[in-house]
Structure 1
Amino acid sequence: MRLRCISWGREEASGDTRWNFYWGHEILTVSLSMVRSDTRSGRPGWIHWKLEEMDLPFNLEDKREEILTALKEALTVYKDGGIYSMSTDFKVILDV
């Protein structure tokens, strides 16, 4: 499983993001909007995401819950900046 941010909105759409989520042998495109966050360098942080869209192939519909659990785990590892994150601990809330 891998997660890659492919776009991050600007100005009024600054919380709108698109991601490539590699799950199994599939590449899924996921759109998320940031609801709220609290991130500070050297401290625990959190982000509340809302799932806007997920391009899920028909053959994976029965795996939807498993994929969403893996997506939340990947977002938690990504924290607030991937390898550049300075948060000490991190929590993700994902609304579907």
Structure 2
Amino acid sequence: MPFVNEFIPAEDVEKYGIKAIDEKFIVGGTDARDWTVDRDRNIYLRNVAMGAGAELELRNQLTWSFYWRGDLLTLRLDLLAATGGPGEPGWSHWKLVWLNGSNGLPQHLRQYKTQVIEDLKAALTIYQGSGVYSADYSGYSIALEIGEGCVI
């Protein structure tokens, strides 16, 4: 089964410890209740915090939990640009600023870094900029750049 956007079912909230993860983000925790998930491969991508403020560069700083085959990773992705509307092709340009702070992948995952990045790209493509709230695009693509100081 490929990635899909959905609201998180109650049984998965329990299975993945979503409530405990929520408490780590934003004062009082996050209330994000949707994700992009591939159950067959045990991978999900979930936006858990958004930048605040009037400046675009701050608002577009997003923190994500990326559960990859048993390991919970925390990412900061900045949305650099996006286009498209209902019935049109959509596109977004992301920049991976950091992965697990400045630590990068855990040692046991470093041999899989290419696959982790490919899976992140696939999840972001299905996410389409807004997950379950995305417009009905005629197609969607993404560009993902790795920040200069990002340790993978």
Is TM more than 0.5 here? yes
C-alpha separation between the residues in 2 aligned to 1:80 and 1:43? 14
1:6 positional shift: 0.3
Rg (Cα) greater in structure? 2
1:21 positional shift: 0.6
Q: TM-score, normalised by structure 1?
A: 0.93
- In the alignment, what sits opposite 1:4? 46
Give the strand-richer structure, 1 or 2.
1
* Aligned residue runs from structure 1 range 18-29, under 5 A: 18-29=63-74
Calculate percent identity across the aligned residue pairs.
33
- In the alignment, what sits opposite 2:139? 89
The one-letter amino acid paired with 1:94 is: L
- In the alignment, what sits opposite 2:14? none
The one-letter amino acid paired with 1:80 is: G
The one-letter amino acid paired with 2:107 is: F
Q: TM-score, normalised by structure 2?
A: 0.60
Alignment of 1:43 with 2:43, yes or no, is: no
C-alpha separation between the residues in 2 aligned to 1:54 and 1:35? 17
1:33-77, CA deviations, whole angstroms, 9 ceiling, x for partnerless residues? 111111322321100001100122111111111100000000001
Unaligned runs of 5+ in 1: none
Moved over 3 A (4+): none
Unaligned runs of 5+ in 2: 1-42, 147-152
* Higher mean C-alpha deviation, range 48-57 or range 6-15: 6-15
